[in-house]
Structure 1
Amino acid sequence: MPVLNEEDSLSAAVATILAQDYEGQREVVLALGPSEDGTNEIARALAADDPRIVVVDNPAGDTPTGLNLAVARTRHPVIIRVDAHSELTPDYAAAGVEVLRTTRAANVGGLMVARGRTPFQRAAARAYMSPVGLGGPAYHSGDAAQEAESAYLGVFRREVFDELGGFDPTLRRGQDWELNLRIREAGGRIWFDPHLQVTYWPRTSWKKIAQQFRATGIWRAELIRRHGAKNSLRYFAPPLLVLGLAAAGLEALAQLSGTTRRWPKFLRRFTSLVYVAPAGYVLGLLAEVARARDLGLRERAWYLAILPTMHLCWGAGFLRGLLRGAGTTADRSR
């Protein structure tokens, strides 16, 4: 478990691991980054109270570095990646090991079940689980066991790390996808099973959601730069949306300023088509919010704000990363 600034959730996350209904031996290795709250004190107190808990220092604070340091301290043939802001179901470890055995997969993942405690967080959770929100990967909304491109967190065979060298420390985001790509290229199988479920608590404010998705978009662009066509075409939808909205904005300014009156008639008709995509997008958002009947009025309002925030911040970040690379961009929303 890589840990950074998680004082509010660390104890509960560790408790769900220790409470696993699993007959075999287990250990919990916490990779402690340079937290600015009381996280590290909590982690060391937990380790002092239970010999199954081990802590390792991760001064860089980067997730892939912390994961590799933690894996290096483990002793068992199965490695289960967990996060400090996630909670496992009681049978997660046992079920994951059984799926590894029956499918002969190299890595197994399950469904990321987003939940919220506040109206904002519940709306964010709905966006995470909706195909209109994050979409794409089975672990956000899948309902059938299947081979997958990647996995949320992951239950790994140790051979993955012995043979492939673990997570790429130069990737601050998207390191899971990149490792799963190398697994598939080496002939291994990634398997999704919806019976494996992890509770995920989204960011708690609009600003943090915006920061998270901007950083995610930047690092996805970095993966596009490195691995090109091995990425799904769905990753290009948010940046195309951003470009479409920008084009519509420029067209509107041109019309308001009277510039378009000097253009040929056929050109005016052509450029006016830029409004079609933004209008369709807005109607799609309104339809999605109308379908969210399980949300209260306040939650629907947040849902309507969160969906375009996710899309546009991700898309803008992607365009920035595509042009300039990710560099040292970090997600500071936690």
Structure 2
Amino acid sequence: MDHTPYPAVSVIMPVLDESRHLRTAVERILEQEYPGDVEVVIALGPSKDNTDEIAAALVAETAGTSREVRTVPNPTGRTPAGLNAAIEGSRFPIVVRVDGHGLLTPGYIATAVRLLHEKDAANVGGIMNAEGETEWEKAVAAAMTSRIGVGNAAFHTGGEAAPADTVYLGVFRRKVLEQQGGYNVEFIRAQDWELNYRIRQAGGLIWFTPDLKVTYRPRPSVRALAKQYKDYGRWRRVVTRYHRGSVNLRYLAPPAALLGCAVGLVAGVALTPVAFVLPGGYAAAILLGSVKEGRGLSASARAQLPVALATMHMSWGWGFLTSPRSLANRVIASTAAQHD
């Protein structure tokens, strides 16, 4: 890493249909109190809204300044391809990943750069600080920051600063990204976890700290949340097949819950009512957990919290269980061909 106190920083953003949040996200970057140079490189996917126009305005407004916004094309619209395009189009020794709907909190860049140096880390990151705007989004945010919703993942629920398997988004040394060949473009989802796994296997340190927070806007509907978590489960299964030995019990909880509920319902109807204890127990756990996690929410958000939790669990479990082996085989074959 550049050994000056404040090495120049490249912020990379893959965006697709982000007109709702893009300007605010970029402004949060430009407002960071960081003495070094900062550039923002936005990888533009084929958006159907006015994301491109907003990006063009940001480019014009910052042209010639020490905090310049630039854009690069990402024709596929896929996140890992956009990230790699932005990395290639950026210049500086520190690379900060931010999403188009992610809002950096004050001091984020300065704290991350300091910790990269102090911990001799390859990647530093913190908490996915979900905050909703609508009542539904607030319910989802509560689910996404609770143990009953996402298990013991520190980047969701917080915890002590320590080495970690992965972190939210991340602040990297460029040389580490170059050594790893960037993100694996075959991973439509779970690309962060997969990259961090490779970094750890190569001996690099992934450092988590609760001092770093990025405000995250949850999906705005049940359907959008279900698709998001189905994709998460689907691609986490691909990761476990691609990197043997990377699975842990947290990843198996949602498919186990889904199977238990399904078996209990079928057996309860066909064999004995006793089997209803499985889906009944799950429902009771969700309702009790919602009472605890719903404190401080409005009545409307509290009422929607069980729906958010069940949607996340069941969709993730369904995606994991139905993820075809052929998808993992395709990823393995494609990645091998790229390295030949």
TM-score computed with the length of structure 1 as normaliser: 0.90
The answer for unaligned runs of 5 or more in structure 2 is: 1-12, 331-340
Is 1:318 matched with 2:330?
no
Answer with 281-290 or 18-27: which moved more.
281-290
- Structure 1 runs of 4+ aligned residues shifted over 2 Å read 272-280, 322-328
SS across alignment from 1:80:
strand
Identify the residue that residue 307 of structure 1 maps to in structure 2. 309
CA–CA distance in structure 2, aligned partners of residues 175 and 136 of structure 1: 20
CA–CA distance in structure 2, aligned partners of residues 38 and 111 of structure 1: 29
Letter in 1 for 2:281: G
SS across alignment from 1:28:
strand
Is 1:288 matched with 2:285?
no
Identify the residue that residue 43 of structure 2 maps to in structure 1. 31
Identify the residue that residue 235 of structure 2 maps to in structure 1. 219
CA–CA distance in structure 2, aligned partners of residues 179 and 313 of structure 1: 24
Is 1:130 matched with 2:146?
yes
CA–CA distance in structure 1, aligned partners of residues 327 and 254 of structure 2: 17
Work out which of the residue numbers 22, 27, 49 in structure 2 matches 1:15. Answer: 27
Q: CA deviation at 1:273?
A: 6.0
Q: Answer whether contact 2:126 2:208 (CA < 8 A) is retained.
A: yes
State the number of aligned residues. Answer: 314
Identify the residue that residue 265 of structure 1 maps to in structure 2. none
Work out which of the residue numbers 251, 254, 257 in structure 2 matches 1:241. Answer: 257
Q: Answer whether contact 2:46 2:75 (CA < 8 A) is retained.
A: yes
CA–CA distance in structure 2, aligned partners of residues 109 and 161 of structure 1: 15
Q: Answer whether contact 1:244 1:274 (CA < 8 A) is retained.
A: no
CA–CA distance in structure 2, aligned partners of residues 8 and 285 of structure 1: 32
CA–CA distance in structure 1, aligned partners of residues 263 and 244 of structure 2: 26
SS across alignment from 1:196:
strand
Work out which of the residue numbers 75, 78, 89 in structure 2 matches 1:73. Answer: 89
Identity %: 46
SS across alignment from 1:136:
coil
CA–CA distance in structure 1, aligned partners of residues 92 and 237 of structure 2: 35
Q: Against the structure 1 CA distance between its residues 221 and 193, is the aligned structure 2 distance closer, same or farther, given a 3 Å change threshold?
A: same
SS across alignment from 2:168:
coil
CA–CA distance in structure 1, aligned partners of residues 163 and 27 of structure 2: 30
SS across alignment from 1:313:
helix
Q: Deviations over 1:114-139 (max 9, x none)?
A: 10111101000000100111123211
Is 1:89 matched with 2:90?
no
Return the index of the structure with the highest Cα Rg.
1
Q: Deviations over 1:186-221 (max 9, x none)?
A: 000000010111100101111111111111111111
Query: For residues 88-167 of structure 1, what are the structure 2 equivalents within 5 Å?
Result: 88-167=104-183
Letter in 2 for 1:7: S
SS across alignment from 1:132:
helix
Identify the residue that residue 2 of structure 1 maps to in structure 2. 14
Q: Answer whether contact 2:130 2:144 (CA < 8 A) is retained.
A: yes
Q: CA deviation at 1:325?
A: 3.1
CA–CA distance in structure 2, aligned partners of residues 17 and 69 of structure 1: 19
The answer for unaligned runs of 5 or more in structure 1 is: 256-267, 329-334
CA–CA distance in structure 2, aligned partners of residues 172 and 92 of structure 1: 27
CA–CA distance in structure 1, aligned partners of residues 49 and 326 of structure 2: 33
Q: Answer whether contact 2:16 2:47 (CA < 8 A) is retained.
A: yes
SS across alignment from 1:154:
strand
TM-score computed with the length of structure 2 as normaliser: 0.89
Q: CA deviation at 1:72?
A: 0.6
Q: Against the structure 1 CA distance between its residues 210 and 327, is the aligned structure 2 distance closer, same or farther, given a 3 Å change threshold?
A: farther
Letter in 1 for 2:214: V
CA–CA distance in structure 2, aligned partners of residues 84 and 113 of structure 1: 15
Q: CA deviation at 1:287?
A: 1.0
Letter in 2 for 1:119: E
Please give the root-mean-square deviation of Cα atoms over the aligned residues, in Å. 1.7
SS across alignment from 2:283:
helix
Q: CA deviation at 1:277?
A: 3.2
Q: CA deviation at 1:327?
A: 8.9
Q: Answer whether contact 2:268 2:276 (CA < 8 A) is retained.
A: no
Q: Answer whether contact 2:17 2:50 (CA < 8 A) is retained.
A: yes
Identify the residue that residue 55 of structure 1 maps to in structure 2. 71
Q: CA deviation at 1:288?
A: 1.0
Identify the residue that residue 170 of structure 1 maps to in structure 2. 186
Q: Answer whether contact 1:2 1:32 (CA < 8 A) is retained.
A: yes
Q: CA deviation at 1:323?
A: 5.0
Q: Against the structure 1 CA distance between its residues 227 and 248, is the aligned structure 2 distance closer, same or farther, given a 3 Å change threshold?
A: same
Is 1:191 matched with 2:207?
yes
